[in-house]
Amino acid sequence: MPIYLDNNATTALDPRVLEAMQPYLIGPYGNPSSVHRYGRAARDAIEAARVQVASLAGAQASELSWTSGATESNNFALKGFAAAHKPGRLLYAATEHPAVMEAAESLRSSGWLVEVIAVCEDGRIDWPRFEAQLASGPVQLAAVMVANNETGVIQDIARVAAGVHAAGGVLLADAVQAAGKLELAPYWTHADLMSLSAHKIYGPKGVGALLVKSHVELAPLLHGGGQERGLRGGTENVAGIVGFGVAAELARAELAQRDTQMRALREQLEAGLRTIEGVRIFGEGAPRLPNTVQFAIPGWEGEALLMALDRQGIAVSSGSACASGTGEPSHVLLGMGYSRPIAFGAIRASFGRGNSAAEVERLLGALHGFGAERPAA
Ligand SMILES: Cc1ncc(COP(=O)(O)O)c(C=O)c1O
């Protein structure tokens, strides 16, 4: 049986989510903007889902806008903010997802002063440098993710938000990887904007959300039929949104149980990895997601190890799924100060609700087996 250990890239659709979506693919097919009964049935379904997804973060339904996924949510937050305000200073952490980094970088051409927030070797914000950066002048916008997709490292969002607010700015917290693994409400209390994506929590691909506090002004990226209070035109992905709602509801109900199960697998893997000489676990020492282990084994390139594991039916990732295949090492590890050769060695295993201790044993067995074949480092 193949083993899937790449749940930070995407998760399997939960059968309970599929069951909830099915009627909206084959049954009530109205356009939610139509006023007749078909339209009203679709509208009711997306409004019920709005409450479910907002509740995952302890947010109000009125604070949530649907998107096509977190890439759009991050672009909407940054570019939508930029379009509604005069250019100023925009800060983002060195370990952000490309959907934040590249959206932020694109704003240089419209006059924004874009700066990177440095992180330490364990992946957490480098506080003395960040505080000096904040003290050097007003900030309009900052983006710091709750938890990193590669290392699982969790940032102190309360402290980041306090600094950004004191400098006059608002904070986007990308919570895509934290959702379903951490309680989000304590993070939403402090952030002003938050991105979420359904397919990381056993929901469908191609649907996401942006949470926006009422004091934050955004301009729409997509103009059209006035959907989402004029913030995001386009007929809603009704079945996808219904699926996101149920996935969020399940994530909330099963958070503690999933945490216990994934944490045990992570500890089992890390204990096994530590018996391999010279192994490095990235972000060790920092608080990390219960399901994520990014590591490197001396003498192995991440990409080669990934292929060798794939031949044994074990799916892991080298760096982020979006960056793999580019031939570039992980910007996250470079940002944490690792050299290119070390960053090239990185492999990530990310657990989900379907994984078992026996699967971790198989991964460890495979890694130990490769040890014998390994060229001298
Ligand atoms: C932290 C983070 N932000 C944003 C995204 C993009 O999400 P989506 O696939 O919904 O566009 C991802 C997906 O890998 C992610 O891990």
Whole-number average pLDDT of the chain: 95
Q: Final residue of a domain: which of 253, 277, 294?
A: 253
φ/ψ of 125, rounded to 5, equals -50, 140
269 & 242 share domain: no
Q: What is the pLDDT of residue 90?
A: 98
**pLDDT score recorded for residue 327:** 76
CATH of the domain at 123: 3.40.640.10
For residues 105 and 49, give the distance between their C-alpha atoms in angstroms, rounded to a whole number: 33
Q: Which domain holds residue 77?
A: 15-253
Residue 325 lies in a domain: yes
In a domain, 269, yes or no: yes
Q: Of 10, 11, 71, which is best to mutate to test ligand 1, by the most ligand atoms within 8 angstroms of its C-beta?
A: 71
Q: Which residues line ligand 1 (CB under 6 A)?
A: 69-71, 97, 99, 145, 149, 174, 176-177, 197, 208
Q: What pLDDT was estimated at residue 370?
A: 81
Instruction: Say what the pTM is.
Output: 0.96
Give nearest CA residue, ligand 1 atom 7: 70
Domain end point (choices 195, 222, 253): 253
The rounded Å distance from CA 330 to ligand 1 centre is 15
Find all residues with CB under 8 Å of 316, minimum gap 6, and list them.
5, 6, 305, 306, 309, 347, 348, 349, 363
Residue 375 maps to a domain: no
In sequence order, the β-bridge partners of residue 147 are 154
- Name, in order, each residue with C-beta under 8 angstroms of 299's C-beta and a sequence gap of 6 or more: 374, 375, 376, 377
**Is 120 annotated as catalytic?**
no
- In 10 A of CB 27, how many CB atoms? 10
CATH number of the CATH domain containing 359: 3.90.1150.10
Q: Same domain, yes or no, for 214 and 299? A: no
Q: Are residues 200 and 344 in the same domain?
A: no
Determine the atom of ligand 1 nearest the C-alpha atom of 205: 10
Residue at 238 is within a domain:
yes
Expressed in angstroms and rounded, the spacing between residue 276 Cα and the centre of ligand 1 is 32
Query: Given 158, 166, 271, 322, which residue is catalytic?
Result: 322
Last residue of a domain, one of 253, 285, 319: 253
Residue 297 and residue 373 in contact, taking contact as beta carbons nearer than 8 Å: no
How confident is the prediction along the chain (377 residues), in pLDDT tens digits per residue? Answer: 899 999 999 999 999 999 999 999 998 789 999 999 999 999 999 999 999 999 999 999 999 999 999 999 999 999 999 999 999 999 999 999 999 999 999 999 999 999 999 999 999 999 999 999 999 999 999 999 999 999 999 999 999 999 999 999 999 999 999 999 999 999 999 999 999 999 999 999 999 999 999 999 999 999 999 999 999 999 999 999 999 999 999 999 999 999 999 999 999 999 999 999 999 999 999 999 999 999 999 999 999 999 999 999 999 998 644 445 567 899 999 999 999 999 999 999 999 999 999 999 999 999 998 865 554 44
Residue 190 lies in a domain: yes
| Nearest protein Cα to ligand 1, atom 14 | 9
Residue 377 belongs to some domain of the structure: no
216-238 pLDDT, tens digit per residue, is: 999 999 999 999 999 999 999 99
> How many other β-carbons are positioned within 10 Å of the β-carbon of residue 340?
12
Give the strand order in the sheet containing 64-67: 64-67, 208-212, 193-197, 170-174, 141-143, 89-93, 113-117
Mutate which of 92, 97, 145, 332 for ligand 1? The one with the most ligand atoms within 8 Å of its CB, which is 97
Ligand 1: centre distance to CA 315 (Å): 19
To test the pocket of ligand 1, the residue of 101, 148, 200 to mutate (highest count of ligand atoms within 8 Å of its CB) is 200
Q: Measured between alpha carbons, how far is 291 from 275 in angstroms, rounded to an integer? A: 20
Q: Give the nearest ligand 1 atom to 149 CA.
A: 16
